[in-house]
Amino acid sequence: MVEASKKLSAPSGMQLSLLVLLRVLIGWHFLYEGLVKLANPYWTSAAYLAESQGIFAGIFKSIVANPLALQIVDFLNIWGLIAIGLALILGFLGTIASFAGAFLILLYYLANPPFIGFTYSMPSEGSYLIVNKNLIEFAALLVLAFYPTSKLVGVDRLIFKA
């Protein structure tokens, strides 16, 4: 991953500012999603996973069927969102946070993909065909992973240069 990102020239000026803006916005989104779930004692990923369709549906559904697995997944999801959100905003371990965020979003996408013929009881706030906001956020996080900004603007600048 690091090798790949090194091949790309570091962004500067307006490019850097916009990439940092993108990083902070996605971080904000992750952090709030995590905190909302943390604050709601009744929140669980069960309903979302139980509705899963597509090739990974079996795995997601087996999580719902196992109370311990569900508890672990819910815990990791909440704290993963919060940790990734904080890391993206602060620019702390930026590349790792971007990859981790992309991975998490990819899981959401794969759990309920907007493919033709798949319908879900939970209404989406827009209309999607294959591409939805999860997929776009996933791609945006990959951009951030390959154009790392945290060593330029972020806590990583202090850590890795000290």
Q: Which stretch binds another protein (CB under 8 A): 70-78, 107-115, 128-136, 140-148?
A: 70-78
DSSP letter for 113, please.
-
Instruction: Identify whether the C-beta of residue 89 lies closer than 8 Å to the C-beta of residue 24.
Output: yes
In the shown chain, the binding pattern of residues 77 to 96 toward another protein, with x for contact by CB under 8 A and - for none, equals ---------x--xxx-----
Do 95 and 5 meet the contact criterion of CB atoms below 8 Å apart? yes
Q: Which residue in the set 14, 55, 117, 161 belongs to the binding site for another protein (CB under 8 A)?
A: 161
Quick check: 119 binds another protein (CB under 8 A)? no
Place of tokens 């790792």: 96
2 closest CA partner among 132, 121, 161, 147: 147
CA dihedral 53, 132, 29, 35 (to 10 degrees): -20
Residues that bind another protein (CB under 8 A): 9-12, 20, 23-24, 27-28, 31-32, 35, 39, 41-42, 44, 46-47, 50, 61-62, 64-67, 70-71, 74, 86, 89-91, 121-123, 151-158, 161-162
